[in-house]
Structure 1
Amino acid sequence: MTQHSNNTVKVWDPLIRVFHWSLASFFIIAYLTEGEVMPLHAYAGYGIVALVAFRLIWGMIGTHHARFRNFVTGPGTTVNYLKDIAQGKAKRFIGHNPAGAAMIVALLLMVTLTAFSGMALLSVDGEGPLANTFFATMKEHDLKEVHELFANLTVLLVALHVAGVIASSWLHKENLVRAMLNGKKTSDHSSQ
């Protein structure tokens, strides 16, 4: 964490910021092109898989605030944080707060399931990396339903994520979107 003279601290490294906005972009592209522009839809899905693989590695070896061990907490801590935020008394965190950490885990899992189910769906037509596997023998309708379910659950999580960013930004009087763009947060609050 690098301290700057204007009461800011560098929190999000460039790789985390590029990952975040790239994942959002690829998911939007995949969601909007479903059933319409299949090559673009599939490539966006493969991009998501590559990004998740990167994030898992960076979550182990990356910068301080990128490492999972420095922000992932147990469910009890997350629930208590959510109660505190509802009461307007949640503690500010320089890195991810417990609810944000839980959302990262949930979103990574859900986009992975969405992408994997999409690859399984492609395998029915003998395409993609899962062709000639068990998935190729499954019913296309069933795989499509599962893929759409995961995609829609991801949209729900994204909506909750955006609501959480807005609530936390308002409560702590800081612009979290700007922080994810420039990597800096103010350091003059009490924080972790």
Structure 2
Amino acid sequence: MTHETATIKVWDLWTRLFHWSLVTAFATAWLTSGVWQTVHEWAGYSVAALIAWRLLWGLVGPHHVRFRHFIASPGAALGHLKAMARRREPRYLGHNPAGGLMIAVLLAGLAAQALTGWLQTTDAFWGVAWVQETHQFLGNALLALVGLHVAGVIASSWQHRENLARSMVTGHKRAPGPDDIA
């Protein structure tokens, strides 16, 4: 006899397509930097378009993807991380406070990355050292932040015995229990 755990749809198709498209565009831009400029630039434009779309979706999209539902203060995120260290953090159906803050930081950083990349194509900022240096720094800082994001996903998946990466593919998560935060 097999036991099926009840699931609930949390991530809509558009959010999942956004997520994996952003992963692909950022990875492409990072890997082609200084090697294949045309592909690098188009990947950067794709990141910019995806960020613009996500900003809109964060205002009008489904419940769990709306910014007002998951953007947390740094204090709330720190409290959640402290609870994680004690292995006493609650399970969130959507983003937990640390994950929500990480998303805000990643979106802001990617927007700044796209902006500094675009500025380098303009007459006013082409060849300007601080723009190039900022763009390069942001690319590497964002890669480190992505690593932290993935580590957080792995830690939360382990703690709550739930494959969060799979939920960003299927859209489904385990239905909330009595102590979970929906």
TM-score of Structure 1 vs Structure 2, range by shorter chain: over 0.9
How many angstroms does 1:139 deviate by? 4.5
Structure 1 residue runs without a partner (length 5+): 127-135
Residue 175 of structure 1 pairs with residue 163 of structure 2: yes
Which aligned segments of 4 or more residues in structure 1 are displaced greater than 2 angstroms?
A: 137-142
How many angstroms does 1:106 deviate by? 0.4
Q: Which of these residues, 164, 169, 184, is aligned with residue 152 of structure 2?
A: 164
Q: Spell out the pairing of 1:33-44 with structure 2 (5 A cutoff).
A: 33-44=32-43
Q: CA RMSD for the aligned pairs? A: 1.4
User: In 1, Cα distance between the equivalents of 2:84 and 2:43?
Assistant: 35
In the alignment, residue 191 of structure 1 is paired with which amino acid?
A: D
Corresponding position of 2:64: 65
- How many residue pairs end up in the alignment? 177
Corresponding position of 2:105: 106
Deviations, residues 149-189 of structure 1 (Å, cap 9, x unaligned): 01111001100000000000001010000000000000153
Corresponding position of 2:118: 119
* Identity across the alignment (%): 44
Corresponding position of 2:140: 152
How many angstroms does 1:35 deviate by? 1.1
How many angstroms does 1:141 deviate by? 2.8
Three-state SS of the structure 2 residue aligned to 1:122 is: coil
User: In 1, Cα distance between the equivalents of 2:30 and 2:36?
Assistant: 11
Residue 24 of structure 1 pairs with residue 15 of structure 2: no
User: In 1, Cα distance between the equivalents of 2:109 and 2:100?
Assistant: 14
Indicate conservation of the 8 Å contact 2:102/2:149, yes or no: yes
Corresponding position of 2:85: 86
User: In 1, Cα distance between the equivalents of 2:42 and 2:139?
Assistant: 16
User: In 1, Cα distance between the equivalents of 2:92 and 2:27?
Assistant: 28
User: In 2, Cα distance between the equivalents of 1:120 and 1:137?
Assistant: 6
User: In 2, Cα distance between the equivalents of 1:156 and 1:61?
Assistant: 30
Deviations, residues 35-84 of structure 1 (Å, cap 9, x unaligned): 11111100000000100000000000000101011111212111100000
User: In 1, Cα distance between the equivalents of 2:110 and 2:176?
Assistant: 35
Structure 2 residue runs without a partner (length 5+): none
Deviations, residues 97-147 of structure 1 (Å, cap 9, x unaligned): 001100100000011111100111121xx4xxxxxxxxx156433321110
